[in-house]
Amino acid sequence: MSEALTTISDAATAEGQRPVKGRRSRYLVLSLFVLVLDQWSKWLVEMKLAERGSIEVIPNLLDFTYVKNTGVAFGLFAAHGDGTGKWILTGLGLAALLFVGYYFKAVPLGDRPLLVALALVLGGAVGNLLDRALSGAVTDFVDFYFGTYHWHTFNVADSAISIGIAVMVLATFRKSPEGASPRAS
């Protein structure tokens, strides 16, 4: 078995291609970048702002406001009390993370947009899951608003997840790339 993998790797290298084994790693580097940027930005906000503290970044459009979110996206299902909600949401986040990881591994290597999208979702999911598991809440701080209308406060991980999902949706409307298996209609 090992000889067969070595032969396949050698053949790919001889044809000027990189061995298939290491090609997913560049997408995992993107996930790691999202995770590091997310955790660093949350740490910075926690160090520089008091909870509920705010810094105006762009007048009448964007503030950095430190909020602890005990719920899921946009504060839905916020946990108030005994900690059971924390563990349920952590479990659901872990299940979603496992699904994304499995899907990431199953996507053909030729489907770059979908791999980038899944890498963004993976990095963001790990960032928020880490917060929830360690402190029971996710640090949010990006506060967009227009007049009196405020979008729900979010963070880098939420942004990566949202962009990743948008790219996945767009990817479903394009042709399958060469070398990738066709998508089911």
Residues known to be catalytic: 140, 158
Q: Which residue has the tokens 């290298």?
A: 13
Q: How far apart are CA 167 and CA 127, in angstroms?
A: 19
- Bridge partners (DSSP) of residue 143 are 63
The whole-angstrom separation of Cα 105 and Cα 24 is 8
In sign, the C-alpha dihedral spanning 60, 64, 70, 74 is positive
